[in-house]
Amino acid sequence: MKCFGLPLLTVIFIVGQAMADDPPGGDLPPEVKAQIKLHTTMLRDSKKSAERAKAAEALGALGASGMTARRNLCQAMMDSAPSVRIAAVDALKKIDEPTYKLATAIFINRDVSAILQARAQGVGAEPLTPLILKMASGALNSITALSPNLTAPPTDRDNPTAQQMVSADRLYRDCISTLSEICKSDSTANKLIIGCLTYQIQVSRSANASTRNEWNSSSAGTRQLAIQSIRKMANVKQALKPLLYIASADSSGNRIAAIEVLTEIADTDNKAAIKKTFEAHRFDNDASIRQAIDAALSKLEGK
């Protein structure tokens, strides 16, 4: 896969370090908070798997009082040691069984419907962020691996590679849309969604023009979702460069959406760059773009 002609390296996400948008547990006794801090630090930093497993068990023993450790336990579900993974799952079940059910459905059963359930819960599903980031990483890896052998369009239901690509692309989209609802302030999720703004599925060199066009259209749909998603994220202004590019060269719908987001994020630091891009397309061949640019420039004048 490439980003508008530039190679996209397989992404390995380091997750679990960002803070929750709205962590629970503010009314816990100081001694309980101290225990949670001690055990989560051990779970994250200890080099010994036995110590990490014991830390997970200790967190589970806190029951519902250990709610602020749920994200740490979701992260630990991906630990390199089986004993730690098992302890983390058991602890999560003791602390918050509904989150445990979603976590196991997402990461162990690879249940896409569970990801969509998390999206519906909004920030309440924030502890699941590390698992969904990992699923997104896996989807990207699959997309990259499938691209060299992709010769059939997404509509060819009899072509295994094409259908595997459709599934991976759909999973990636579901992860992106879910992350934009559950962890708006997470730095890794913000970077992932910004990266999705340059998403482009590549096909085999032997693929015909029609197949290329269909996958180009599919990729544009994923970028459209990324534009909608980054709009909700705390670090939306970090998406300035890809949004400027989309505003200049993409499908009409994506260009207009990018123009709208750029208008919203304009400030004293980026206003000049945004205005320059807009003015360059005041006389675009597409009437809808000209209209969007004129409206955007009027709004910029008022900022």
* Amino acid 258: pLDDT: 98
Work out the average pLDDT over 263-279. 97
Reduce the DSSP state of residue 250 to 3 states and report it.
Answer: coil
pLDDT at 236 over 60: yes
* Amino acid 302: pLDDT: 82
Work out the average pLDDT over 159-184. 98
**Band (25; pLDDT cuts 50, 70, 90):** low
* Amino acid 19: pLDDT: 35
Work out the average pLDDT over 114-136. 98
State the DSSP string of 88-156: HHHHHHHH-HHHHHHHHHHHTS--HHHHHHHHHHGGGGGGGHHHHHHHHHHHHHHHHHHGGG--S-TT-
* Amino acid 6: pLDDT: 35
Long-range contact set of residues 254-258: C-beta below 8 Å, sequence gap at least 24? 254/220, 254/223, 254/224, 254/227, 255/286, 255/289, 255/292, 256/288, 256/289, 256/292, 257/224, 257/227, 257/228, 258/227
Domains of the chain from N-terminus onward: 2-234 (no CATH), 239-303 (1.25.10)
Work out the average pLDDT over 202-209. 96
pLDDT at 212 over 50: yes
% pLDDT > 70, the chain: 91
